[in-house]
């Protein structure tokens, strides 16, 4: 029974993943993400229910559009599968079981899902459009505040002291960065570095400072390895600015959290 429960959690994750592939493509283009029908990016044919089953549609259609037979990027399949797997890992880390599902587990699972969505949106949009979307950052700050409220209430209930100073410092930093961002923004161009720092603050709020530091170290390692590989295959070295650093940051954070979860599970 528990296995079926986890298969349902995986399926739920793939549905979220399917929505995320659409959102990462449409948000920076200012297209509607909820009302408009899904369509093939090459032939613009409306997709029906059978074309939209996460993971399975991609596998059964052989990674091609049913109508124009053009290849569909493997990122759809990868993001859907990865979201499904992240949901399962989160459920396992929280020790969720169909037999003893508590309210606390449900709240923590929901907050975890909101955070996974944030990571996928930041990484996906960076890969697709090389930018960090402001609306995703606002979403990130909102869910971080929700998470803080939950932890604060939980600590008060349990009679444990909760250090609010850390939160106040972070919120001040976000406000200052946003103000600098607004002042420095010219011709509607976004400031990638500033947005990257805000992303790191959100990561730090959610997964604590130690994880954020390890995330930065892991990101640096990825950039170094990528540069070495580029040199070996004689690829022209890209400017640091062109690298999808936000994508590296969220991937590193996911790796670090995953390792931490594995230690929890062992
Ligand atoms: Zn097509």
pLDDT of 68-107, one tens digit each?
A: 999 988 888 999 999 999 999 999 999 999 888 899 999 9
pLDDT over 80 at 240, yes or no: no
Q: Are residues 106 and 210 in the same domain?
A: yes
Q: Give the end of a domain, one of 100, 135, 153.
A: 100
Q: Are residues 144 and 256 in the same domain?
A: yes
Q: What is the 41 CA–ligand 1 centroid distance (Å)?
A: 7
User: Cβ distance 120 to 35 under 8 Å?
Assistant: no
Tokens standing for residue 30: 């200012």
- As a whole number, mean pLDDT of residues 110-120 equals 97
Tokens standing for residue 108: 């923590």
Q: Which helix (H) or strand (E) holds 226?
A: helix 192-232
- pTM reported for the whole predicted model: 0.90
Contacts of residue 21, Cβ cutoff 8 Å, sequence gap at least 6: 75, 76, 79, 80, 124
Q: What is the 42 CA–ligand 1 centroid distance (Å)?
A: 5
Q: What is the 39 CA–ligand 1 centroid distance (Å)?
A: 8
Q: Are residues 208 and 232 in the same domain?
A: yes
Q: Are residues 129 and 188 in the same domain?
A: yes
Q: Are residues 74 and 198 in the same domain?
A: no
Q: Are residues 77 and 146 in the same domain?
A: no
Q: For residues 266 and 260, what is the distance between their CA atoms, to the nearest angstrom?
A: 10
Q: What is the 159 CA–ligand 1 centroid distance (Å)?
A: 58
Q: Give the end of a domain, one of 64, 80, 100.
A: 100
Cross-strand partners of 46: 39
Q: What is the 20 CA–ligand 1 centroid distance (Å)?
A: 20
Domain that residue 71 falls in: 1-100
Residues with CB in 5 Å of ion ligand 1: 40, 42-43, 65, 67-68
Tokens standing for residue 95: 């020790």
Quick one: pLDDT band at residue 239, thresholds 50, 70, 90? low
Q: 214-238 in b/e burial notation, b at 16+ Cβ within 10 A? A: bbbebbeebeeeeeeeeeeeeeeee
Q: Are residues 217 and 116 in the same domain?
A: yes
Q: What is the 43 CA–ligand 1 centroid distance (Å)?
A: 4
Which value, to the nearest 10 degrees, does the dihedral of the CA atoms of residues 38, 43, 44, 45 take?
A: -70
Q: Are residues 109 and 86 in the same domain?
A: no
Q: What is the 62 CA–ligand 1 centroid distance (Å)?
A: 13
Q: Are residues 249 and 160 in the same domain?
A: yes
How many domains does the structure of the chain reveal? 2
**pLDDT, averaged across the chain:** 89
Q: Are residues 110 and 177 in the same domain?
A: yes
Q: Give the end of a domain, one of 52, 78, 100.
A: 100
């Amino acid at each position: 029974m528990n296995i079926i429960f986890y298969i349902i959690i995986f399926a739920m994750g793939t549905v979220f993943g399917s929505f995320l592939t659409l959102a990462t493509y449409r948000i920076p283009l200012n297209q509607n993400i909820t009302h408009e029908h899904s369509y093939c990016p090459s032939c613009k044919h409306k997709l029906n229910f059978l074309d939209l089953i996460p993971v399975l549609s991609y596998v059964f259609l052989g990674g091609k559009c049913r109508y124009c037979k053009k290849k569909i990027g493997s990122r759809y399949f990868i993001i859907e599968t990865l979201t499904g797997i992240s949901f399962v890992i989160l459920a396992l880390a929280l020790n969720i079981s169909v037999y003893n599902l508590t309210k606390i587990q449900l709240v923590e699972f929901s907050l975890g899902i909101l955070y996974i969505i944030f990571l996928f949106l930041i990484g996906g949009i960076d890969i697709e459009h090389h930018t960090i979307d402001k609306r995703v950052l606002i979403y990130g700050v909102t869910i971080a505040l929700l998470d803080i409220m939950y932890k604060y209430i939980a600590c008060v209930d349990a009679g444990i002291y909760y250090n609010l100073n850390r939160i106040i410092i972070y919120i001040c930093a976000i406000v200052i960065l946003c103000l600098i961002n607004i002042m420095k923004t010219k011709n509607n161009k976004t400031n990638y570095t500033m947005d990257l720092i805000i992303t790191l603050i959100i990561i730090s709020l959610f997964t604590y400072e130690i994880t954020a530091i390890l995330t930065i170290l892991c990101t640096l390692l990825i950039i170094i390895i990528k540069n070495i590989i580029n040199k070996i295959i004689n690829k022209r070295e890209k400017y640091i600015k062109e690298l999808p650093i936000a994508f590296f940051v969220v991937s590193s954070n996911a790796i670090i959290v995953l390792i931490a979860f594995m230690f929890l599970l062992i």
